Structure 1
């Protein structure tokens, strides 16, 4: 089985705690830096090919979901070293529970294989006559073991999870998993996407509180289908199923062999990346920009001077798309600082070669009004940081 290596260790110069299939964990003392790489795995192999900006999609989509769900989670901040900007978060150190908390609202994948053999999934009996892609009467909790890199996760029964982590924790993660799915399934459905199933992970704080951790509801950990196509009996996915299908049916690779999968052709890499970005954009309603950053733009100042850098400070509306501010506010509350609310905006820098002419700046201003026109943005402030300083604000 192929295994990953740390890609950002030399750039970060931090103690590396773990390099997984997709994520790298670095020690920050009492906290962790969790970095999402552009690696992609399939059938327990980390492929030699990467999907450009995939790590940023996973990180930014997870942050969006954490904010939508309104549950306690491990993220403390998205202010991270520039080498991993947009693809990393600072998070709590938790005692991770050794279980993959899978919830299925639809029958497919390994669940479909198991259903054909036993008319059940992970010990949960299901009605007869279901087909691949069928919606289940109600979502079911179908946990799996959390295997080491290169080894297989295995579906297990709830009783086996009880034996592993104890009944109280097993019942708690089952309840939390089903609750997260119920909220996320509704949100996705409103955006024309079916959340067929998803995998969650949880960790325990020193006081015993169980919180949502790792990534959440991404194309790596979930199956997303186009709702309109599903109604027509087709399973059009916005996840890595396209890549899996290529490996199984077109690549010539034998899954049962010990041979690692072949490199992906350029068209499969591009198509997979497109599906990940489309999932992000359809769910969030926002265009995805490189490493999760809004495309850089500025507004027209009253005076124009030779400049090389323009700073744009974007402020979202209170409690809207602000997972970092919300996380810091919650952390302050846990530390005993009450009555403090943190709002976290974004800072973007636009570098321009040479002098900015009035025509060029007007073009940038028009682009800004188009790209930053969003009901969740309260406004943005523009500052020129070199040359003669001017200021303009757009509401």
Structure 2
């Protein structure tokens, strides 16, 4: 007869993933439990496929810096969360879902467009766009849905300005992202949505081939398409993911940050008293929200040992950015929103060679858009009960679907 201590050790049960947030400004409560008890934990994805999640700051950074952690969406064990995500991604090959040297080639093409210096030079143009959109929102009267009228309008207008795309139908881009970023969209639905985007972009690319201008799309056409460095499908995929990823994350961050500030007038008072705090405030909001929590999807090309455990070869793994950004070993009182937090080395933009290429532009958008709201619309307030705010729980990035405001 065996004693309890001699019984064979049972493998931990796999949780269903993703987990749902109960507070929009914090990761799911179970992340704290996982960090403490199962820093490398098995999960079951909506597709039924098994994978592992990593929640500790140290582990997330180590994993994302490891070249054995493959981002190649074609790998059979790739931990896609959406129904049609892997099928479409394997066909279109967005550069964020590739490994070196392919990923390196795309990144080198785009990096010069997103340097601190180039983004800083965009500030006057971004400020002019934001002021125009505040005017439009105020002229329309209250109550108003903040998400399409301001959050989406700001993020989409900025990316369109950068690329040289007409801002005729801002909601078109939002609709494309809503379908392509939903975990419930089929491969056919995603393909149809992206097909509409690619048709628009193809017309613009053909026009730039004949008459290039001073914009990112023109530079990509002249320097990379004409020279044969990129094919047309590769250029479409690159520009498409730049639009989708850039505008969706900024839209969600701007809406969520505004909601938090509306609930925390003390934080708004801090920013009014010292506008120079805004860059630090944006970084703290990025850490707290961590809206791209499960974007870093990887496959272990070999067994990978990290402090929290071992990731087995040929199995999917998800580096949870919100778990890392709320790790009390790295951030004292991580639940606290502290605009004076020292050494805020968050991973909201990821880490390693796949770290978000547009992070400087995202910071600029948030600084200008939030600062302008605080300055120009001091009476901004919620126009609906908190319980009626519509959140996006089934999207690739967490956010707000509808936010009614008044002033």
TM-score w.r.t. the length of structure 2 is 0.27
| Bigger radius of gyration among the two | 1
The structure whose residues are more often helix, as a share, is 2
Q: Tell me: higher relative CO, structure 1 or 2? Use CA pairs within 8 A at least 6 residues apart.
A: 2
